[in-house]
Amino acid sequence: MNGLLKRKSLKILLVLPAGEKVRVTLQRPKVPRRAMLRFSVLPLTVVAALTPPGHDVRIVDENVEPLDFDAECDVVGITFMTALAPRACEIADRFRQRGKIVVGGGYHPTLRPEDCAPHFDATVVGDADGLWPQFLEDAQQGAVKKVYRRTSTPAPQMETPAPRRELLARNARHYATINAVQAGRGCRHNCRYCSVTVFHGRTYRHRPVADVITELRSFSGDFIFVDDNIIADRDYALALFRAMAPLRKHWVGQCSALIADDLELLEGARGAGCCGLFIGLETANQANLALMNKNFNQVESYTARLRRIHRAGIGIVAGMIVGMDGDDTTVFQEMLRFLKETEIEAVQLNILTPLPGTPLHDEMQAAGRVTDRDWSHYDYRHVVFRPARMSGEELQAGADWVYAQFYRLDRIAGRFARALFRVGWRPAWLGLQLGLTYRRDNRNEGVHGCNPASNKRLLWLPKAARPYYCP
């Protein structure tokens, strides 16, 4: 069998793959200027912390340093989401050719283990807590199993150790922060497009407040909460915020818009140092929200909710989606109008993507609407399905156009000036840096697009005959 080790200690290489356009290689060693979009490598630093003493652990993030395929190691662990599955499999194949034991984990291996089976010696399905030490013990004995899966329901309280951030110290300058913290995992909502719900089985677990506070005290500086919804458990969130307030740290995180309906919770977050929140608004079409099982978002209350969050001195990054079944070619202009009226500091615009393992993917697959099975295109920036009320080309052109228009330099500057007076310098500065980073990405990738509602005739011209702004 590949990699019969039977030795006391292992040299472990943990790898985060990167997409081709942003990957650092020996031939292309310059790290792209997009630190604002990088915040630690929490899954791998936690896996490193779960590793029993005595083993040697190294982390390589291809976003900031080249991967040496000749590296001395016994075990290679790779974590990845769907868009990075092709690269992860390529890495796995090359290390296995050298006789190394290769294990995969993360969202894609959990939701599509059959994809990983030909490329990996082992796959960890779900959270690595409790499974990773068992895998390493089996590796030492030369008896690795093909799949490592939890056989019992995990306890509602997490006992995850603090991540080993020191393993990232040599590249810290390339991240917005290496201080990523997770207080809880999972989500109780059931949005049809979301892989978080499927991965965690619609459950939510959290760490003891005391453990989180101890971790926060262990490092200096500000940080980011990577929880999918930091307010998933109201009582827990309030207790956490109250315990954090004396630390006088600043942080950003992610939660639902429901925080605006609970002033005690909102004020608690601000008092604990929150200066920015990523909020999945998704769409300004209530029918779309109903189709996606996200009716707890109420479009008619968006303006009031967002205003209350801004009044608390918290900046907002909105998660938006285009391509839902209620969208036609007018959605792009309407989305720009909505973002302007709500005075959002930044936006992460996603093309609807039917991720494998989600109800959305299963339904589109059954209906014959999935048109592209190249996993590298499942990055929320490519159209991989047949839209209901426009063509795939119109959806791609419109999504690119919204991104390019929202992140025009004059609009970035205008939002920064308004935010300075509305939410204060720190959230305004974060919004400015995000805006400039997204604008740089758009320019590097040639993202222009066009508004298909007003430029439909251009889409049928040969590409060479189209204006520069229309793909």
Q: What is the pLDDT of residues 72-90, one digit of tens each?
A: 999 999 999 999 999 999 9
- The reported pLDDT for the residue numbered 6 is 54
Average pLDDT over residues 177-182: 96
Q: Which two tokens stand for residue 448?
A: 């222009």
**Cβ–Cβ < 8 Å for 104, 124:** yes
**Considering the chain, what percentage of its residues have pLDDT values greater than 90?**
86
Angle among Cα 226, 231, 235 to the nearest 5 degrees reads: 130
156 compared with 430, residue with greater pLDDT = 430
Distance of CA 192 to the CA centre of its chain: 17
- The reported pLDDT for the residue numbered 154 is 76
Position 3 confidence tier, pLDDT thresholds 50, 70, 90: very low
DSSP string, 3-45: T----S--EEEEEE---TTT---SSS-PPPS-GGG-B--HHHH
CATH class of segment(s) 11-149: alpha beta
Position 464 confidence tier, pLDDT thresholds 50, 70, 90: low
Position 470 confidence tier, pLDDT thresholds 50, 70, 90: low
In this structure, the strands spanning 346-351 and 274-282 are unpaired
Q: Is 139 helix (H, G, I), strand (E, B) or coil?
A: helix
Cα 239 to Cα 264: distance, rounded to the nearest angstrom: 12
CATH topology of domain 180-456: pyruvate-formate lyase- activating enzyme (3.80.30)
Look up the pTM and report it: 0.93
- The reported pLDDT for the residue numbered 1 is 41
- The reported pLDDT for the residue numbered 463 is 52
- The reported pLDDT for the residue numbered 188 is 84
Domain residue extents for the chain = 11-149, 180-456
- The reported pLDDT for the residue numbered 39 is 85
- The reported pLDDT for the residue numbered 461 is 52
What type of residue is 315? G
**Cβ–Cβ < 8 Å for 249, 223:** yes
